[in-house]
């Protein structure tokens, strides 16, 4: 398995798709990296020589925030929102959707499993 940016990428896949296994690199950035490094996007990851891998690594290190550094930056941004007590920070703190989605009928991914609250008992009417 070739190592790119400290990550083992799948060697049987085309390099265009193998690069996308790196956190922070999507389809556009993968295509941009390969174009700048002058590497055929249809080449398999295990077919690349050391020079090609080195040029990809150099481009990623120089121009892109990936993996641990990116995750750390995202967490710091969320923590900053919490610290300044912004609306978005409060939503993060409570584990609710942050970007304006409805919560009455959906949002189970953010809210977690249903917590059933005991409802009112039906009051029987006297005849």
Long-range contacts, 65-74 (Cβ 8 Å, 24+): 65/24, 66/5, 66/22, 66/23, 66/24, 66/25, 67/5, 67/6, 67/7, 67/22, 67/23, 67/24, 70/23, 70/24, 71/23
Tens digits of residue pLDDT in 17-51: 999 999 999 999 999 999 999 999 999 988 888 99
Pick the CATH number of 3-64 from 3.90.190.20, 1.10.10.60, 1.10.8.50, 3.30.1510.10: 1.10.8.50
- How distant, in Å, are the alpha carbons of 22, 65, 88, 125 from that of 72? 15, 10, 18, 61
Identify the pLDDT of residue 86.
96
Tens digits of residue pLDDT in 50-75: 999 999 999 999 999 998 999 999 99
> Could you state, in order of their start, the residue ranges of all structural domains in the chain?
3-64, 65-99
Identify the pLDDT of residue 6.
78
User: With 70 as the cut, is the pLDDT of residue 101 above it?
Assistant: yes
User: With 90 as the cut, is the pLDDT of residue 11 above it?
Assistant: no
Identify the pLDDT of residue 29.
95
Identify the pLDDT of residue 127.
61
Identify the pLDDT of residue 115.
86
């Amino acid at each position: 398995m070739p190592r790119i940016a400290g990550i083992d990428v799948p060697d049987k896949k085309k390099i265009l798709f193998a690069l996308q296994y790196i956190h922070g690199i999507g389809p556009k950035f993968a295509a941009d990296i390969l174009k700048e490094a002058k590497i055929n996007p249809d080449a398999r990851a295990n077919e690349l020589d050391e020079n090609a891998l080195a040029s990809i690594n150099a481009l990623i290190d120089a121009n892109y925030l990936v993996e641990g550094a990116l995750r750390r930056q995202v967490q710091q941004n969320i923590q900053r929102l919490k610290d300044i007590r912004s609306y978005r920070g409060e939503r993060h703190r409570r584990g609710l959707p942050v970007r304006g989605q409805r919560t009455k009928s959906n949002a189970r991914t953010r809210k977690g499993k249903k917590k059933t609250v005991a409802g009112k008992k039906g009051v029987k009417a006297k005849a």
